Structures are given as C-alpha cells and as structure tokens.
C-alpha cells in the first residue's frame, strides 16, 4: 500500500467542548475550518496544532451498520488507521450524536469500543452539540475528510465506492482515503475529476447534535 503522508505533498465529565476558529464551512480545495475539542480522556486538541501533518477526520457512530461493516465485520478501518499512523498522520474520530443518541457512548464505553477493535486514532471526541459536525457538514457515519499538511481540505466523502453493508465488498471497492491510484491523496496531485476530491458519504444519516424529528 502506498503511504499516506508522502502522497499529500505538504503532508468535565468528558463532554466535548468546542470553539470554532472560522465561521465558514468546510469546502474541498480551501482551508479546513479550525476547531477545538476535548477528547474522551479530557485532553484538548485543535486542528491548528496539527498543521504540517496529514489529518484524517472520521465521523463515527459505533452502532451504525456501515461503521460496523468497517470495524466489527472486517477490521478494515483500523487497518487504514494503522497505515496512516505509520506515516505520521493524525486521525481524529468525531461522534456528533446528541446526548442519548444511538451510539453516543460515554467516555469509558467509547474507549472500550476503541480497544476492542484495535482502533489507532489520535483522539476520539464527543461533539454532542454538533457544532463541528455542522462546520464540516458531516451527514453520515462514516463521513471522511482528509486535510493536507498545508491545512487544505483535499477530500470529503465516503470511505469507499461501494454502497453496501456487506464486508465482502471491501476488497472490490475503491478506498477514497488511501488506496485509489487516482485519488489526490495517493497520487500526490490534485485531480480534476469530482469523485477524486468529493464523493457521497455512505452510512447512517444524522443531523449533527440534534435528535431526529
């Protein structure tokens, strides 16, 4: 597998707290909006502190069937995380479910879920008011965003090309985050094809920080 950092070129009970660094919402090809969140271990992180590194944002709901496809049923997402970590990339997991939502795990339960699946993530956040989710227009889980070392959002969309809950499809799918030769992340160049930069996210839909209604 080609490496992730090289190819980008420029490369409290613990309820999440947040401050938004930019009012503008995320847009591929432009600067990724800054944010600050407190992780499930009580440590504060800002996107700005990771400038110079590739950053992957993964919106997650442990009980989403598509998330389960890539964790419980295949171990695919942890493998992608391991490859990213080996390249020095930062991987941030964000759960924007409102308090009490499906998959809104308390910190200890979220940490246990990570351990059970061998998750390799820099941090896991509970964005319970949904402000970061809305900032990035995160709409499903998993919804993936890749930010290069210069702070530019270079990809937003699904983890791969197949809209399915079947883990057997993973081997045939184009992985938009790490494995597609035409992907801007892997090729080291920005592609003109829309799919190389932006794809429809696939998974459990949600409204960031809001109950369904």
Judged by average pLDDT, the poorest of 31-40, 93-102, 115-124, 191-200 is 191-200
- Has residue 12 been placed in a domain? yes
Are the C-beta atoms of 88 and 53 separated by less than 8 Å?
A: yes
CATH code of the domain in which 76 resides? 3.40.30.10
User: Across 7-21, 82-96, 153-167, which has the greatest mean pLDDT?
Assistant: 82-96
Q: If pLDDT is split at 50, 70 and 90, which confidence band does 105 have?
A: very high
Instruction: State yes or no: pLDDT of 1 exceeds 80.
Output: no
Query: Given this model, what pLDDT does residue 4 score?
Result: 52
- Has residue 135 been placed in a domain? yes
- Has residue 83 been placed in a domain? yes
Domain count, the chain: 1
User: Nearest to residue 24, comparing CAs of 122, 147, 135, 180?
Assistant: 135
Query: Given this model, what pLDDT does residue 194 score?
Result: 38
For the chain, strand residue ranges (E) read: 18-20, 35-38, 44-46, 55-59, 90-95, 123-126, 140-141, 143-147, 153-157, 204-205
- Residue 72 sits in which domain range? 4-18+59-205
More confident residue, 67 or 186: 67
Would you say the pTM of this structure is higher than 0.85? no
């Amino acid at each position: 597998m080609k490496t992730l950092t090289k190819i980008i070129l420029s490369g409290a009970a613990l309820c999440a707290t947040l401050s938004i660094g930019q009012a503008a919402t995320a847009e591929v090809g432009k600067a990724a909006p800054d944010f600050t969140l407190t992780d499930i271990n009580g440590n504060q992180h800002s996107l700005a502190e990771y400038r110079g590194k590739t950053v992957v944002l993964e919106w997650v709901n442990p009980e989403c069937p598509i998330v389960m496809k890539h964790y419980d049923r295949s171990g695919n997402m942890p493998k992608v995380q391991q490859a990213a970590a080996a390249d020095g990339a930062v991987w941030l997991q964000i759960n924007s479910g409102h308090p009490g939502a499906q998959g809104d795990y308390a910190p200890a339960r979220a940490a246990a879920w990570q351990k059970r699946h061998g998750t390799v993530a820099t941090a896991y956040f509970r964005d319970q008011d949904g402000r970061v989710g809305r900032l990035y227009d995160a709409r499903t889980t998993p919804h993936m965003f890749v930010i290069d070392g210069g702070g530019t959002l270079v990809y937003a969309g699904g983890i791969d090309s197949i809209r399915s809950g079947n883990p057997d499809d993973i081997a045939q799918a184009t992985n938009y985050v790490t494995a597609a030769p035409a992907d801007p992340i892997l090729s080291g160049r920005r592609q003109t094809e829309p799919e190389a930069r932006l794809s429809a996210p696939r998974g459990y839909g949600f409204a960031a920080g809001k109950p369904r209604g």
